[in-house]
Structure 1
Amino acid sequence: MINERKIREPQQKRSIEKKDKILKAGYKLICKNGYYKTTTSEIATEAGVSIGCLYSYFKDKHTIFLDILKKYQAQFDKLRDEFMNKMLLFKSPEECFREFMLILIDIHDKSVDFQREVRTLYYYDPEVAALSDDQRQKIQDAALYSIKLYKEYIDIDDYEAAAIVTSLIINSVVDDVSLYKSSIDRNRILDETVKALCRYLKMKPINHLNKY
């Protein structure tokens, strides 16, 4: 049976490129047709490889999807780490919150159709749910870090709970702005979101913070 074949991890450049072509083809077709309407045969054809070649790298369509999701999240991790490393350079918490939302929106904008498939599978696939929950936790960690960084300018008692509320607000706005069309410019939505976050955190009016 196909699923009993040994899956190999490519070591040579040519093999790595073949596996990458399969992932790119899978991403393209899943975004276009949806996860359930995409087959491994179609992915192999799109990638220009035999079905046997595909199954030498992936057990099934599900593992292809998981690898695509992991690659997507690795890109997010890189951008999040870069953002957190430069957090001290922001002039204010408002600028910090806005920049973080812009980063998330940019990532979502580049993968809107894929994000919709992830949302659909979240409720039916434990592995997709686990990966998505891990990413959500990373956003909460970034929110907690920013709250602690500016703690002398805010008035809250429970930092961890506040980080969850903050990340929920940010995620909700980012998802809405990226996945759905709005009748007004997204910058206006971001402006109001930043104001709402500052009001929620009872943030003191600050024109400039010297955090060096």
Structure 2
Amino acid sequence: MDTEKTIRQPKQKRSMEMKERILSSAMRLICEKGFFQMTTNEIAKAAGISIGSLYSYFSDKDTILAELLERHHNHFMTVFQTLNTEMNRRLYTENLQEWLRCLVKKLIDLHLCVKDFNKALEELYYAKKDVAAVLDLHREEIRKAVLELLGRNQDRVKADDLEAASVVIVDFIDALVDRIVFKSTPVKEERILDTGVTMLYEACFYPADEE
């Protein structure tokens, strides 16, 4: 989202705080009203600043969304990298089911920390290419992690096509996370998580004692 207009890069505390108010107000309005329904005037009012002040930091609401997306992506990548810790890598061979549970739980936590914003982004998926690009990148990072798990335990995987299996597994995980985070149910979330992970594991892997 390039613009010819000179945009201020805040360096002083007061300017940085003003920019943060704009971003937090925009995120709140996106969650409450939707991106296409909100206006820059509403963002400025919610942030307690003039519309002129807003335009000194952002040229339009698309550039605001772009920065929110960048922050969302950076947070996802930072948290997701914890899957590559030594402890979690040991689970690749020691306990595949627990590794899957760790992955699903981490994705649930990532969605819950900004639940309404995640929902708003999913609704923007087919309308905003930059949103689709970020969400697709996240799903690809998840798929690559699953594919690595399958590759390291190929003799236990029930499917021959590991790449296709990684896509199917990620689709299942997406549905499980969506059910727990966004949908109401009379069954406790922990039971859904445990049952879902058990079913996924048993559908994809042979038990360790059958190697």
How big is the shift at 1:152? 4.1
Question: Offset at 1:205?
Answer: 4.0
Identity of aligned residues (%): 35
What is residue 34 of structure 1 aligned with on the other side? 34
1:44-82: per-residue Cα shift (whole Å, max 9, x none)?
122222212211221211221222122122111111101
Q: What is aligned with 2:21?
A: 21
In angstroms, what is the RMSD of aligned CA positions?
A: 2.0
Q: Give the corresponding residue for 1:110.
A: 113
Partner of 2:156: 153
Name the counterpart of 1:209. none
Matched, 1:165 2:182: no
1:122 is paired with a residue whose SS is coil
Report the Cα offset of residue 191 of structure 1: 1.6
Query: After superposition, where does 1:54-93 map in structure 2 within 5 Å?
Result: 54-85=54-85, 86-90=87-91, 91-93=94-96
Unmatched runs of 5 consecutive residues or more in structure 2: none
Q: For 2:79 and 2:119, locate their aligned partners in 1 and report how far apart those are by CA, in whole Å.
A: 21
SS of 2:78's partner is: helix
1:97 aligns with 2:97: no
Q: Which amino acid aligns with 1:42?
A: E
For residues 149 and 190 of structure 1, what CA distance do their matches in structure 2 show?
Answer: 24
Query: What are structure 1's unaligned runs of at least 5 residues?
Result: 207-212
Query: Which amino acid letter does the alignment assign opposite residue 141 of structure 1?
Result: K
1:142 aligns with 2:145: yes
Task: Report how far residue 84 of structure 1 moved.
Answer: 2.1
- How many angstroms apart in 1 are the aligned matches of 2:183 and 2:33? 19
Rounded to whole Å, the distance in 2 between the matches of 1:74 and 1:120 is 20
Deviation (angstroms), 1:14: 3.7
In 2: Cα distance, 1:122 partner to 1:16 partner: 30
- Determine the C-alpha separation between the residues in 2 that align with 1:119 and 1:202: 31
Report the count of equivalent residues.
204
Q: Is the 8 A contact 2:83 2:89 kept in 1?
A: no
Query: Shift of the alpha carbon at 1:12?
Result: 4.1
Identify the range of structure 1 (178-187 vs 11-20) with the bigger mean alpha-carbon deviation: 11-20
In 2, distance between residues paired with 1:181 and 1:129? 26
CA distance in 2, matches of 1:10, 1:147: 46
Q: Distance in 1 between matches of 2:121 and 2:173?
A: 19
Cα distance in structure 1, aligned partners of 2:161 and 2:77: 26
2:6 equivalent in structure 1: 6
Counterpart secondary structure, 2:124: helix
CA shift digits 1:15-67 (9 cap, x unpaired): 33322221111111211222222211121122222212211221211221222
Q: Which aligned runs of 4 or more in structure 1 are off by greater than 6 angstroms?
A: none
Match among 195, 203, 208 for residue 200 of structure 1: 203
Contact kept? 1:154, 1:204, Cα under 8 Å: no
Q: What CA distance in whole angstroms lies between the structure 2 residues aligned with 1:12 and 1:144?
A: 45
